[in-house]
Structure 1
Amino acid sequence: MENNWYTISVYSENNVGLLNRISGIFLKRHINIEALNVSKSEINSVSKFTIVVNTTEQWVKNIVGQIEKQVEVIKAFYHNDEEIIYQESALFKIKSDLLFDERNIQNIIKENNSQIVTVARDFFVLSKSGKREEINKMHEQLEPYGIMQFVRSGRIAVSKAEMRISSLLEEFQHN
């Protein structure tokens, strides 16, 4: 079986230590977590973990099964990239003089549909949202000019198909 990109969505109670136990499931199988995001979900008091891995479908099925055995976990799902809509965000900190002196910087900003978040005397900050490849492309374009700081978020994603989590979450909320 070949490796593919999978996004795992985990709905859970927000309890201390759960992230550690979930990451331990990946550690035992020597599978690297490529991206991780934790946020509140569409239901109050329920968190959503979004985890990106590159592995086989059999391994991702096993992992989801192990995650669901955690007491706080309500439900876990996995999807390939075609089954979800996803984005990442990135911030680039660049020297301010480049914004005014280097015309190509303005072209890079425009071509990549990025935004200037702030401009200070010594630096400016760009924001870019999109797919990982789009952020990588912008990083490559800016690298020759010198990137003072760079940070990228984990993937955030919603499924194209209904995940039937709402009824489970409503049940959970009433208990």
Structure 2
Amino acid sequence: MKKEFIITIFSENHIGLLTRITIVFTRRKINIDSLTVSESALQGIYKFTIVIRETEAQTQKVVNQLEKLIDVLKAFYHTNEEMIYQEIALYKVPIEPIYESDAIEKIVRKAGARILEITKDYVVVEKTGHKEDTQALFEELNKFHVMQFIRSGRVAITRDPIERLSEFLKERDAFLNSLD
């Protein structure tokens, strides 16, 4: 049974790695729903956060294949329940409806969103939350003809108090030191 998984990949920052990572998914005919790349808490280490909808067996195979890539230090997969995650969305809405009523202001307050910028032509609203939350706000604001809308990829951290990458690196370093 297919369900949503969050794959995290840790690597150093090397040119072409993103291409090699996406090829792994393409060859297995797996669509990437969300992709975010950023520096991690460990200096020089980057974290790829990839959301897919697949079976656990297929996800495990992909993670194993990703770990075989040169430059990938370690890869993990998690369920949504094992992670704390958010996305950010920006909405550009015409200014006219704000002059006509307080409906947009009420929608923004109810959604826990905030206004980032107001100009003579538009208002930019920001919402942080899960995809369902940001999509619901889009549908509410689109009654006023949203001019532009963008949602980021997912950012996520594990609920586990231990950073699994740090543990992996300690074990690897201990093993390498034992070979000396």
* TM-score of the pair, normalised by structure 1: 0.94
Residue of structure 2 in register with 1:57 after alignment: 56
| C-alpha distance in 1 between matches for 2:167 and 2:30 | 31
Given residue 145 of structure 2, which amino acid in structure 1 is its aligned partner? G
- The answer on 1:131 being equivalent to 2:130 is yes
Residue of structure 1 in register with 2:141 after alignment: 142
**100-109 or 83-92: which moved more?**
100-109
Question: How far apart are 1:4 and its partner, in Å?
Answer: 0.4
SS in 2 for 1:30: coil
| C-alpha distance in 2 between matches for 1:54 and 1:107 | 35
Question: How far apart are 1:163 and its partner, in Å?
Answer: 3.9
Matches within 5 A, 1:143-162: 143-161=142-160, 162=162
- The answer on 1:122 being equivalent to 2:115 is no
Question: Any idea what the Cα deviations from partners look like across 1:9-37, whole Å, max 9, x if unmatched?
Answer: 10001101000010000101111000000
| C-alpha distance in 1 between matches for 2:108 and 2:19 | 38
Residue of structure 1 in register with 2:85 after alignment: 86
| C-alpha distance in 1 between matches for 2:93 and 2:63 | 40
Larger Rg: 2
CA RMSD of aligned residues (A): 1.6
Residue of structure 1 in register with 2:75 after alignment: 76
| C-alpha distance in 2 between matches for 1:92 and 1:27 | 31
Unpaired stretches in structure 2, ≥5 consecutive residues: none
Question: How far apart are 1:169 and its partner, in Å?
Answer: 4.3
Verify the 8 A CA contact 1:89 1:130 in the aligned structure 2.
yes
Given residue 164 of structure 1, which amino acid in structure 2 is its aligned partner? R
Residue of structure 2 in register with 1:111 after alignment: 110
Matches within 5 A, 1:37-56: 37-56=36-55
**Identity across aligned pairs (percent)?**
38
Given residue 120 of structure 1, which amino acid in structure 2 is its aligned partner? T
| C-alpha distance in 1 between matches for 2:169 and 2:151 | 30
Given residue 111 of structure 1, which amino acid in structure 2 is its aligned partner? K
Give the number of aligned pairs.
173
| C-alpha distance in 1 between matches for 2:9 and 2:15 | 15
Unpaired stretches in structure 1, ≥5 consecutive residues: none
Given residue 5 of structure 1, which amino acid in structure 2 is its aligned partner? E
